[in-house]
Amino acid sequence: MPDNTTRAKRDDSPEESRRSRLSRVFDEDAELYDRARPGYPAELYDDLAELAGIRAGSRVLEVGCGTGQATVPLAGRGCRITAVEAGSRMAAVARRNLAGAGAAAVEVVTADFESWPLPQEPFDAVVSATAFHWIDPAVRVAKAAGALRPGGALAVVRSQHVRGGTEEFFVEVQRCYERFDPDTPPGLRPPPAADVDGSDHSQEVARSGRFGPTVFRRYEQDLTYTTTEYLDLLRTYSGHRALPEAARNGLLGCVAGLIDGGYGGRVTKRHLIELGVSHRR
């Protein structure tokens, strides 16, 4: 199938009209989210130490901890963490995972970050891993600045599906999306990693006037999934969960048939992970 110039919007740019509603769907099946969502590469935590100064003893505020994909590794490095998570089920799984990892210096708070009262003692860093885009854009940067000591760091992790892995599968699977999801642009393709633009975040941070320049680091991960694992991953995405049940089931059945029938029951997806670090003035 020939390539098409139709560009994918960023995976982490929800339409503002649906942002609040879609942000809640992850809590519907926190166990699935915990099982299916990948963690982050070890280099990212090394770069957090280098760029954000996050190390043993650092006071870290994590915004949107989910089930602890980033919280557990940060706790393992000796950080003292307050993690704010809006979903009660997600927060409960995060607490369980942290207890299992022996992470004592972590408090998981079930609350919306927007309305959660900041403690008096400022933090050394505010970290948000694949969650900052779900926070109200009128609040998120200013409140992060208010949570930090002067010189403290805002570290935002974003992810994007990019070209690579089992490339032909991601060309062919668009037929499933075009059939079952009417909002799918025709000919949609994952963008090359080099074409993914992160400047919207740095510009948002700069407009606040509260931070210095944003420094970025990028990482690419090729993750291989069985058919069942890939369907579980899709079930954790807000856009898939928001589809009507019949359309969602049809889409997942179509995807499963393609993986099993054309790709031997296994596909590889390439993830681009981007870390942006900005220091409070």
Taking only the tens place, the pLDDT of each residue in 130-153 is: 999 999 999 999 999 999 999 999
C-beta of residue 241 within 8 angstroms of C-beta of residue 252: no
How does pLDDT run across 161-172, given as a tens digit for each residue? 999 999 999 999
pLDDT above 50: residue 7: no
208: part of which helix (H) or strand (E)? helix 199-208
User: CA 97 to CA 215: how far, in whole Å?
Assistant: 31
Q: For residue 161, give the 3-state DSSP assignment.
A: strand
Taking a C-beta distance cutoff of 8 angstroms, is the pair 270, 161 a contact?
yes
For 90-125, what is the HEC assignment?
HHHHHHHHHHHCCCCCEEEEECCCCCCCCCCCCEEE
User: Residue 153: phi, psi to the nearest 5?
Assistant: -115, 135
Q: What percent of the chain has pLDDT over 90?
A: 87
Phi first, then psi, for residue 37 (nearest 5°) are -75, 135
Quick check: 87 and 64 in contact, CB under 8 A? Answer: no
Phi, psi of 102 (to 5 degrees): 70, 30
Give 9 or 254, the one with higher predicted confidence. Answer: 254
Please count the other Cβ atoms lying within 10 Å of the Cβ belonging to residue 46. 12
d(CA 38, CA 264): 22
pLDDT at 3 > cutoff 50: no
What does the block give as tokens for 214? 């944003």
**Strands 106-110, 80-85: pairing kind:** parallel
Residue 141: C-alpha distances to residues 9, 105, 202, 267 (Å): 22, 25, 11, 37
Q: What is the pLDDT of residue 18?
A: 65
Instruction: Record the tokens describing residue 267, joined without a space.
Output: 């596909």
pLDDT in tens, 68-110: 999 999 999 999 999 999 999 999 999 999 999 988 899 999 9
* Cα separation, 247 vs 253, whole angstroms: 10
Q: What element of type H or E holds 143? A: helix 140-147
Residue 166: how many other CB atoms lie within 10 Å: 20
